[in-house]
Structure 1
Amino acid sequence: MEFANYRKQPLFWNGIAMAVLTVAILPLLILDTRTLLGVNVWIKPLKFSLSVGLYSFTTVWVIYAFLKDWKYKNQIQTVLTITSLIEIILITLQAARGEASHFNITTTWNQIVFSIMGTSISIFWIFHLWIGYKIFQKKSIPLSVKESLVWGLTIAGFAMIIGFMMTSPRPEQLEAMKAGILETSGSHQFGSGDPGKGLLFFGWSTKLGDMRVPHFFGMHVMQIFVFLAAYLSKKLDSLQSQIFVRFTGILFLLMNVTMVIQTLNGESIFSFSPIYMGLYCISAFLIFLCLLKIISQPKEYQNQVVI
C-alpha cells in the first residue's frame, strides 16, 4: 500500500499520534520523578501509547488489505481512533495530575474519568469484533490468511473483555463504599498478600495474580497473526497451512485462558508453578513447531505430476 493511501486512513494517523506521544513522554520519565504506587507516573501513558500505536498500525493494514471495498471502513477506523484517543488523553491527563486513571473513585472527577474510559473501551471492543466478523465473512480472502486474521482478532477481543474482570469492585471495597469511603473500585491484582516488586517497566506482580498479563498477552498475540497473514498472503493457499494456523490459534487461545485461570486463582504467572509452567512450555513448543511447519511450506505448489 502506497503512503498516499495510508494518509487517508484514520487509524494510520492514530498510530502516528501515538508515536509522537511516546517520544514526548520519554524525557518526562527523567525530568518528572513523581511516582504513583512506586512507579513513575509517566510509565502508564507510555505503555498505553505503545500498545495503541502497535494496534493502530497493524489494524489499518488489515482493513486496507482485506476490507478495502467495505463501505464502513473509514467510519470503523474513526470510531476506533476516537475511543482510543479518549482513553489515552484521560490516562495522560491523570498522569500529569499525579492521579491513578483506573479504579480511582476518590473524587467526582476521578469517577467520571474512570466511567468514560470504561464506556469508550466498550465501544472500541464492539467495533473491533465487527472487523473480525467482516473478515470472517469475506469469501475472497485465502482461507489460511483468513484463519490467521480471525484467530488474531478473536484472541485480541477475548483479551479486551478480560479487562472488565478488573473493574468489578472487591468485597472489601464494597464494604468501604457502604461506609462512605470512596477510594478504589476494582483492581488488576487477584489474591491477597504482598504483591512483590513489580516486573521491570510493566509493573506486573511477581507474587499475586495480575490480570494485566493475560490482557496484554492476548492483545498483542494479534500482531503475530497479522504478520503471519501477511506472510501467507504471498503464498498459494493450502489445506495444510490452514490446519497449522488453526492449531496455532487454538494453542494461543488455550494459553490465554490458562493465564486467566491462574490469575483468578491468585497466582502470578511469573511464580513458575510446575503445572502451569509445564502447560505454557508445551503450548509454546507446539506453537513453534506449527509456525516452523507453516514457514517451511514451499511458495508454490505443483498442480501436475512431473514424470
Structure 2
Amino acid sequence: MSRWHRPLMVSTGLMSALAVVTAVALVLDDRTLDGMPVWAKPLKFAMSVAVYSFTWAWLLSLQRRERRWGRIAGTVLAVAGVAEVAVITFQAARAHRSHFNAATPFDAVLFGVMGMMIIGLMVANVVAAVAVLLDRQADGPSTWAVRFGLAISTLGLASGGLMLGPRPGQSVDGGVIGAHTVAAADGGPGLPLLGWSTVAGDLRVPHFVGMHALQLLPLLPLALAALSRRFPALAPVRVRQGLTVTAGVVYAGVFGLVLWQAERGQSLVHPDGLTLAAAGILAVLALGGVAWSFRARAPRQVALAVPAPAEAAR
C-alpha cells in the first residue's frame, strides 16, 4: 500500500488553516461583494479544497502498486488547488471579483492564472483517476463507489467550463467575461453563505454536486459495512454492492438533473413540474435499486439430511 501523498496532505492542512482564518474574517469584516460577504467565497473554496485534497491523498494511498505518474498528478492537484484559492483570497482581501474579472489588466492576469490552474486541475484529476482505477479496491462495494465517485467528480469539475466564455452583451471592455448565473446577472439574491441564485439557474450547483461525489460515494460502503454488524440483512457483499451501485446511478442522475435545471435558468429552490417529475423518476429508480439489492442476496443454503450410518450388526 502506498504512503499518504505528502503534497496533498500539506494542501489539506493549509486549506484547513485558511478556512479558520477566513471564518474569523467573515465575522470581523462587514464588507460585501456582489451582495455576499467578501470572505464567504474564500471560506467556501478553502473548505472544499481541504476536503478534496484529503480525499485524493486517501485514494492514492489505496494503490497496491505505486505509480510515479499518479503521484505527480496528485502533486499537480495540490499545487493547482492551493494556487486557485490563494488568488481567490487575495482578490477577496481587495474586495475584487476573482472569477470572470477583466476590469483591469492585473485582474485579467489573475483570472488567467486561475484558468490555467483549473485546466491543470482537470487534467491531473483525470490522470490520478486512471491511476486509482487501475487497482481494484478491497471489495466490490468499495471498487464501485470509487469508480462512480471518480467519474461523476470528473464531470462535475468539467462542468465548471460552462461558466467560462462571454455571455450575450459581455466584452473585455465591460470588465466581465463569463458568469455562473443563467438567465440573470451574477450578484442577485442567493442562498446564505453558498450564494447560489434563488431567482435563476446557477451552474455552481452542478459543479459542487458533481465534484463532491468523490467524497460522498466512497463513504457509503464504509457506512454499510459498519451497519452490517447490527443489521444482518446488510451482511452479504452482494447487498452492499447493489446498494452502492444504486447510489452511484442515482447520484449521477441528480448531477444531471441539477445541471439540466441550471441550464434552463431555473433556481435550485424553485423547481418546476418537469424538474419535480424527473426527481420523482430518480426516487422510483432509487427505491427499485434498493429492492433489487436486497433480492440479490445469496440464496440460503439448504441443509441436506444425511441418513445416519446403519448400526453395525451385533
1:116 deviates by 1.0
Tell me the residue number matched to 2:212. 220
Match of 1:151 among 132, 148, 152: 148
Determine the C-alpha separation between the residues in 2 that align with 1:135 and 1:190: 35
CA contact 1:189–1:209 (8 Å) conserved in 2: yes
1:130 deviates by 1.7
Tell me the residue number matched to 1:42. 39
TM-score normalised to structure 1 length: 0.85
Tell me the residue number matched to 2:174. 182
Other structure's SS at 1:269 match = coil
Percent of aligned pairs with the same amino acid = 30
CA contact 2:9–2:54 (8 Å) conserved in 1: yes
Tell me the residue number matched to 1:255. 254
1:253 deviates by 1.3
Other structure's SS at 2:62 match = helix
Determine the C-alpha separation between the residues in 2 that align with 1:110 and 1:158: 28
Tell me the residue number matched to 2:312. none
RMSD: 3.1
Other structure's SS at 1:271 match = coil
Determine the C-alpha separation between the residues in 2 that align with 1:77 and 1:213: 25
TM-score normalised to structure 2 length: 0.83
1:104 deviates by 0.4
Tell me the residue number matched to 2:169. 172
1:142 deviates by 3.0
Tell me the residue number matched to 1:271. 270
Tell me the residue number matched to 1:32. 29
Q: Given the superposition, is the C-alpha separation of residues 93 and 237 from structure 1 closer, same or farther in structure 2, using an over 3 Å criterion?
A: farther
Determine the C-alpha separation between the residues in 1 that align with 2:67 and 2:225: 19
Gaps of 5+ in 1: none
1:194 deviates by 9.5
CA contact 1:142–1:233 (8 Å) conserved in 2: no
1:132 deviates by 2.1
CA contact 1:143–1:237 (8 Å) conserved in 2: no
Determine the C-alpha separation between the residues in 2 that align with 1:158 and 1:290: 23
Q: Given the superposition, is the C-alpha separation of residues 207 and 293 from structure 1 closer, same or farther in structure 2, using an over 3 Å criterion?
A: same
Match of 1:92 among 78, 89, 98: 89
CA contact 1:29–1:42 (8 Å) conserved in 2: yes
1:283 deviates by 2.2
Gaps of 5+ in 2: 229-234, 305-314
Other structure's SS at 1:172 match = coil
Other structure's SS at 1:76 match = helix
